[in-house]
Amino acid sequence: MTDTLRIRRPDDWHLHLRDGDMLRAVLPETARHFARAIIMPNLVPPVITGADAGAYRDRILAALPVGSKFQPLMTLYLTEETNPDDVAAAYASGLIAAVKLYPAGATTNSASGVANFDKVRPVLERMADIGLPLCVHGEVTDSDIDIFDREAVFIDRVLDPIRRATPGLRVVMEHITTSQAVDYITAHDTGLGATITTHHLVINRNHILVGGIHPHYYCLPVAKRETHRLALVSAATSGDARFFLGTDSAPHMDDAKETACGCAGCFTATNTMSILAEVFEREDALDQLEGFASLHGPGFYRLDANDSYLTLTRGAAVTYPAKITTPNGPVTVFDPGFDLHWIVAP
């Protein structure tokens, strides 16, 4: 049995860092193992302009541990008023790596998102012209659509029409959760990729609801049936370069999760690499972990893979802290529900 695995240092292609005290508390958890991350722009207020992104990047860099070489890859929050020229200038300067589409009301801090997709067509057309990727939160928010069907309906009603109307637009379907999303991606091999989270490889909807409500497994998009989880595992471990890691690690303080109307998000930055190694080992696919975590994402974003390496070793069960302390309260670390035997070597 393999007990040592050396891979290129991984990147996280979907990460929430928040701001202020929370940023300073959780950033070291990502910077410890990851070289780069696509930073989500759904702050309050959101990161809408190039100037906003520059200021946020500076705050992230100021919060890094001494000596860290972690690189934040910034994004802009797409609104119906987004200026195509500002987007193009931010990309040309190297400031941003993508633009993020949130359907209005789809998830945390998405009230400023898009309701009328015709209003953002000029931005999407400019992005197609310059090769700037669009990262998509792929859910409709119509009240008559069941929450477990929102992703599949989004593909048919929103994503496919956008891609047909904007040839050349490069799209990342973020945090996919369904076999329909896997099937859509594998059927379209041009300009389309997808991130898969750590937690969606582990949990299905039973983990949230069976034996009581488990708020630290509640996320958006919500976890689906076991058949969908298995489809995600198959995609992630397949070696298909269209699928890559985006943890969607999303910190919320416990009092915001454990309440009558709890926040959506799983905080996985701390133990993601241990969990992934366990999942890939179970599938007899440890040889595919480097591609999923370290190679496929840079390939899609047209960046070089990292030139540093990370070593995982297998041994006795690994213990991680149950919570991360912040000045405003604890943040619970995602519990996969099984023992972890892989750890990143010092």
What radius of gyration do the chain's Cα atoms show? 19
Beta bridge partners of 243: 194
> Which contiguous run of DSSP H or E holds residue 14?
strand 12-15
Of the candidates 216, 229, 135, 117, the residue with the CA atom closest to the CA atom of residue 174: 135
* DSSP-based three-state secondary structure for 288: helix
The answer to whether 313 and 1 have CB atoms below 8 angstroms apart is no
Question: Among candidates 139, 211, 227, which has minimal Cα distance to 179?
Answer: 227
**Which residues, at least 6 apart from 20, have a Cβ–Cβ distance to it below 8 Å?**
none
Among the listed residues 248, 255, 284, 307, the single catalytic one is: 248
> How many whole angstroms separate alpha carbon 116 and alpha carbon 66?
44
C-alpha 258: how far from its chain's center? 23
Query: How crowded is the C-beta side of 30, counted as CA atoms within 13 Å?
Result: 34
Sign of the C-alpha dihedral computed for residues 314, 317, 322 and 326 taken in this order: negative
Asked about 248 being catalytic, the answer comes back as yes
Residues with a known catalytic role: 248
